[in-house]
């Protein structure tokens, strides 16, 4: 049975989109959840309210995971509140789309720093705790564009491909201590981020989905919950697509 009673989790980017759905689902299954956000405190508090209103336990913690010290403080604060951290879901991510030849230096750096360096910062911080307790679950949110690429998203694709390589390396380093590290590669999921895309782009993506519908954040959240549980104890270093068949 899938349950997370007695576990504590940190979900970066937990105030919106896929991260929000993951935070709510982990709490529904019994975990205490730290909902991380960078600037939108209202959205984070709304996520916490939804969790606590259903009898779960959650707190909101502000931190820019692209900054190492803030990532360290995020993990330390969650461990102080909950006693330890068993689960880390690296879901924080941004886009700064544009054609390669027109992309500004800061648009490249911002995406790499948040989407890739943020994963490194938080994983490094939480690994110290997990190594001592000899148990941990780390779930990184990558993307199918990190596998197949996408025009106009060189920075985003590079960051998400980097997450895939990082996941495999971290799995090899941490596996002997009972820590699993896996990544989820979502496809076309209905979120605020994809909602900002032109309708023509959304229609084109949907035309390639074998199941004929966009994904829901919950489709990713249930896999994240499974990978965070004891049921997935023999799965590590894997990149699992949740994409309705786009990359077949």
Contact 191, 17 (CB under 8 A): yes
Structural domain boundaries of the chain? Answer: 8-242
Largest CA distance in the chain: 51
Supply 9's token pair: 């989790």
Q: Strands, DSSP E only, in 56-118? A: 57-62, 87-90
Residue 98: strand pairing partners: 153
Residues 65/88, Cβ–Cβ less than 8 Å: no
Pairwise CA distance, residues 131 & 97, whole Å:
37
Q: Which CATH superfamily is domain 8-242 in?
A: NAD(P)-binding Rossmann-like Domain (3.40.50.720)
Print pLDDT tens along the chain (248 aa).
Answer: 899 999 999 999 999 999 999 999 999 999 999 999 999 999 999 999 999 999 999 999 999 999 999 999 999 999 999 999 999 999 999 999 999 999 999 999 999 999 999 999 999 999 999 999 999 999 999 999 999 999 999 999 999 999 999 999 999 999 999 999 999 999 999 987 777 777 877 888 888 999 999 999 999 999 999 999 999 999 999 999 999 999 87
Q: What is the pTM of this model?
A: 0.96
Active site residue 37: no
- Which is the catalytic residue, given 37, 156, 188, 234? 156
């Amino acid at each position: 049975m899938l349950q997370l009673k007695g576990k504590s989790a940190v979900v970066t980017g937990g105030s919106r989109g896929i991260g929000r759905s993951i935070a709510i689902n982990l709490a529904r299954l019994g975990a205490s959840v730290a909902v991380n956000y960078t600037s939108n405190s209202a959205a984070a508090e709304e996520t916490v309210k939804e969790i606590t209103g259903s009898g779960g336990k959650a707190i909101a913690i502000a931190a820019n995971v692209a900054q190492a010290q803030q990532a360290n403080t995020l993990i330390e604060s969650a461990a102080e509140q909950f006693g330890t951290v068993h689960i880390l879901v690296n879901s924080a991510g941004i886009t700064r789309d544009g054609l390669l030849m027109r992309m500004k230096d800061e648009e490249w750096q911002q995406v790499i720093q948040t989407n890739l360096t943020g994963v490194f910062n938080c994983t490094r911080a939480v690994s110290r705790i997990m190594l001592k307790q000899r148990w941990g679950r780390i779930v990184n949110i990558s993307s199918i564009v990190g596998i197949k690429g996408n025009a106009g998203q060189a920075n985003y694709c590079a960051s998400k491909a980097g997450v895939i390589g990082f996941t495999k390396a971290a799995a090899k380093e941490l596996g002997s201590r009972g820590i699993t590290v896996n990544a989820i590669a979502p496809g076309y999921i209905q979120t605020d981020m994809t909602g900002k895309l032109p309708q023509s782009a959304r229609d084109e993506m949907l035309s390639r989905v074998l199941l004929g519908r966009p994904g829901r954040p919950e489709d990713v959240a249930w896999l994240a919950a499974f990978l965070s549980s004891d049921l997935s104890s023999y799965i590590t270093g894997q990149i699992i697509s949740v994409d309705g068949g786009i990359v077949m």
